[in-house]
A and B are shown apart, each in its own frame.
Chain A
Amino acid sequence: MRRLRIPTFSTCAASALVALLVAGPGAAGPTSSITGNAIYRLAGNGDTLWMVTGNGLNFTIASTGTLRWWGYETDKVLSYQWYGGIHTPLAFGDTRALTCLLPPDNSSEANKLWVFDHRSGAFGSFSLAWNRGNLADSLPDSAKNDIYFDAYDAAWTPGYFWVACLQGGLVRIRAADAAPGGTVPATVFYPGVDTGYPLQDFPPQGFADYPDSNREVAGVTSWADSAGGPLLALRTPHRVWTFSPADAAWDTLANALADEAGNVDTRRSIRQFVRLFADSDTARRALYAAVDTTRADDTVGSALVRYDAGSRRWLPVGSGRTTALTFGNGDTAYAVVSGDLAAMQTGATLRRMAGLSDAIDARMVQADESVLRPSVNDVLCVPHAPDSSLLWIASNDGLYYSRAERQDEETGTAFTRASRAPKLAQGLRKTYFVPTILSPDAGPGYFAYNLEKKARVTITVYDWNMDFVKTVIKDRAREAGGSRPDGRSTVKKEDTWDGTDQNGKPVAPGVYYYKILSSERERAMGKIVVAR
């Protein structure tokens, strides 16, 4: 079996190891298992991969040759349902990762930033405290109340985290200052303003045109300048900016859209920049953007475009809603388009490589036997060898990774799935229905159970009065859980219930009871809540 090897980067050691205290309410851990199977965002380099799941953060350090996980179960991570995908702030650099967690009271003013240090194992939270009293007196209260410093995106340059904070501009936090419980010194850089302001002094009195909806910083990504130095690319609704940390210099990129011939497109224009992707490879060095476009007849479309500095235009390189883009070795790039994985050749035009994408999709369905095909949320390519990269794929049903890029292209079968699969005791000692609450906007749930022996199984559902509702399966053959990779007997495609009775009619809201009977005289009962 091939060992998983990822070269260890000679990462920049932190100038001071920040001793973070164990976090306050909202975090538990660490844990050695993946915290959740719904994985939203990936970040990493070298030997470290971080990921955001629905229940917390995980990271792995693979330099030992095996894949081991460390993780922290936390409050719900702040995720924005947007542009057909889920966008979650996550930045990683050095030995730390930063993300934003949704506070229990759901107040966006109380959004907390969480920093995790995988070398010390410490983690903690802090808040971006700004002074709402700094707002101009001339602003009406309604306008003041609509100004938020939400952390929409994050990026890393050596020694610093950069957080896109909407009306809060671009906020710089020195990684060494990140400490739990309280506030952190931070500096605000506002698009077009060549000086930074301490967070507590922003916005300064007399700050012209604030707030400006056209300068809400909603996305930031790390890039490299022509000399290879750190550069940040940021997006505001209608414009892309670059920011040089060295001299706090701003520049704007043109937002002209080119047609296939490279001329200014007269049929459509860029309506909004939705996501930025930076290729920092010194040979390629390119900036891509997912955009909304609009035509003369007001029809809206979406496209992936690449900035051409010579012509100062955005060249179309692909169509569809691209929510992730990562660059492998050579001329290969991987993207997430409308929830599907696509592999593409970089260059003038990105085109979907259907063969590989379809093979990966089939692999996902085969791996987890879900009734619904899992959708892809993020993808990350990590250089692995001179001619190979390791590809990580975050889906809503687990993490997939490849062991050899070339092999994946040819066969599409080399992807391995890493998922959180809680162990179930054999002999039907514990069963449950997943998810326990059937909601209107969710699909069917499945029965999680584990037989002691191979047997024929019947699953029946009853209402609160124990009146018969439906037979889910009758006398179906099932394996003992111990003989299956996920340690349970459930066949997800069949052992499901969608909240209907034997006639197909939806049942009334309430608590329902199910019974699992096997031909080997194993028996269990459990509960389901129908809230639809």
Chain B
Amino acid sequence: MPGTSGFPRWPIRLGSRIVVPAFVAAFLLSGAAAAYPGGDADAYLRAPVGATAQAMGGAGAALPATCLSLWNPAALAALPLSTKQFSIGTGLRSMGRLDGNAALEFRIPTRIGVGIAALYRGDPVVDIYDIDEVNLGRASYSTITSKLAVSYLFSRALSMGVGVGVFYQNLPAFGYDGIENAWSFSIGGIDAGAQYRLRDTWTMALVVQNLNIVTDWQFAAFFGSANQMSAATLPASITLASNFQGALLGAPLVWACDVRGYVIDGTLKPLDHASAVIDNGFEWRRWSSFYLRCGLSDLTLDGELLRDAPSYFDHFWIGIDAGFMADLSRIARGLRLNYGISLGKAWSGVDQQIDVQYSF
């Protein structure tokens, strides 16, 4: 029986009553070993990209605002036809961590979307002490991740896309004669996404990211402890995302929700500590040129909640996020400014991102 929008009702029921709970239950019950997701090779990739997602609890995979190639390749073909979009942004996180991102997305009529995005993350100031507590100066940790994605619009409702990435990391290490650099450079990280528009106000997406990517470390000098550094396979992430538009006080209210699971690694082997992260964000479009945003981020679910609840709640964290969008069309048509701020995890400070988005 069709729904009010003309779409069949069954996907809605399927999505809200079966798929999402099953998704969440799978992570709660998975993993024989204790959880604690920290320390994986993709730690630097898990934070949300872009100020919009920063403000909206880290959610955004269903209809990402910027850096679509990094979020969901399927979203590229769902951009409005003849859209070309450029964005650039930066972020300052707690403990001196830095972000930077840039992206370009465009449609190729009539059904193809293409995008490329680059992401810098790192910590530029790390004071190094040797075993005698002698300060050896400062070093930095840098990563650059770049993804190229293409998407195809199969129908008004369905688009699918794929992407491939380049991953670079640079890390200080002790060499024979002081601090040297260890680096890894990998090409791979296959992303695949599917996006389905259940109704005009509701879009869902399923995205699998970072398949088949291994960080293999190299070292500058022949001598050096980094020669023995272990190669690491990045965990793959599986995200079920939703973007629903309702209304609040007569103005549109968008609710974005992502459930991001880590169950397998990039070679499809099960992780020994599966987990899921739930992000929720809201965007209230009270004014046409200024949106308010807020969110609750990083609600992590894993088997520890059922096996050892006190221990789970010892490390429990839920982020509080806020931000806005300002339409700067008075300056340039299609120009937008986004800002997001979050309470840093572990009470480490605040994380902020700002970016500029230009559609032409």
Pair A436/B229 contact, Cβ less than 8 Å: no
Please indicate the chain A residues that have their CB under 8 angstroms from the CB of B127 in the complex.
432, 436, 527
Interface check A195, CB cutoff 8 A:
no
Q: How far is the CA of A106 from the CA of B220 in the complex (A)?
A: 14
> Known: A501-B39, A505-B272, A531-B182. Is A467-B46 also a contact (CB below 8 A)?
yes
Q: What is the size, in residues, of chain B's interface with A at 8 Å between Cβ atoms? A: 58
Pair B230/A509 contact, Cβ less than 8 Å: yes
Interface flags for B3-42 (1: CB within 8 Å of A; 0: not) read 0000000000000000000000000000001101111110
Pair A422/B133 contact, Cβ less than 8 Å: yes
Which of B44, B139, B273, B346 is A515 in contact with, Cβ under 8 Å?
Answer: B346
Interface check A245, CB cutoff 8 A:
no
Q: How far is the CA of A512 from the CA of B121 in the complex (A)?
A: 14
In angstroms, how far is the closest chain A Cβ from the Cβ of B186? 13
Interface check B305, CB cutoff 8 A:
no
In angstroms, how far is the closest chain B Cβ from the Cβ of A475? 12
Q: How far is the CA of A510 from the CA of B348 in the complex (A)?
A: 18
Pair A529/B128 contact, Cβ less than 8 Å: yes
In angstroms, how far is the closest chain B Cβ from the Cβ of A107? 11
Q: How far is the CA of A461 from the CA of B174 in the complex (A)?
A: 21
Interface check B82, CB cutoff 8 A:
no
Interface flags for B100-136 (1: CB within 8 Å of A; 0: not) read 0000000000000000000001110011111111100
Please indicate the chain A residues that have their CB under 8 angstroms from the CB of B46 in the complex.
465, 467
Please indicate the chain A residues that have their CB under 8 angstroms from the CB of B130 in the complex.
54, 434-436
Q: What is the size, in residues, of chain A's interface with B at 8 Å between Cβ atoms? A: 54
Pair B228/A55 contact, Cβ less than 8 Å: no
Interface check A276, CB cutoff 8 A:
no
In angstroms, how far is the closest chain B Cβ from the Cβ of A72? 14
In angstroms, how far is the closest chain B Cβ from the Cβ of A304? 30
Pair B41/A464 contact, Cβ less than 8 Å: no
Pair B123/A420 contact, Cβ less than 8 Å: no
Pair B38/A527 contact, Cβ less than 8 Å: no
Interface check B291, CB cutoff 8 A:
no
Interface flags for B293-337 (1: CB within 8 Å of A; 0: not) read 000000010000000000000110100000000000000000000
Classify the secondary structure of A's interface with B.
loop
In angstroms, how far is the closest chain B Cβ from the Cβ of A462? 5
Quick one: which of A439, A442, A465, A512 has the most chain B CB within 10 A?
A465
- Contacts of B178-223 to chain A: CB distance below 8 A: 178-179, 182, 215, 217
Q: How far is the CA of A371 from the CA of B315 in the complex (A)?
A: 28
Pair B129/A462 contact, Cβ less than 8 Å: no
Q: How far is the CA of A509 from the CA of B176 in the complex (A)?
A: 19
Q: How far is the CA of A113 from the CA of B345 in the complex (A)?
A: 53
- By beta carbon, the residue of chain A nearest B344 is A466
Interface flags for B120-163 (1: CB within 8 Å of A; 0: not) read 01110011111111100001010000000000000000000000
Please indicate the chain B residues that have their CB under 8 angstroms from the CB of A422 in the complex.
133
Interface check B79, CB cutoff 8 A:
no
Please indicate the chain B residues that have their CB under 8 angstroms from the CB of A409 in the complex.
none
Please indicate the chain B residues that have their CB under 8 angstroms from the CB of A461 in the complex.
38
Contacts beyond the supplied A434-B131, A510-B44, A511-B141: 5 A-B pairs with Cβ under 8 Å: A38-B131, A54-B130, A437-B172, A462-B346, A465-B44
Q: What 4 pairs between A and B have smallest CB-CB spacing?
A: A507-B39, A466-B345, A439-B225, A467-B38
Please give the residue numbers on chain A whose beta carbons come within 8 Å of chain B beta carbons, in ascending order. 36-38, 53-55, 76, 102, 104, 106, 420-422, 432-437, 439-442, 448, 460-471, 501-503, 505-513, 515, 525, 527, 529, 531-532
10 CB-based A-B contacts, threshold 8 Å: A106-B177, A433-B129, A436-B130, A467-B300, A469-B38, A503-B33, A509-B169, A529-B126, A529-B139, A529-B171
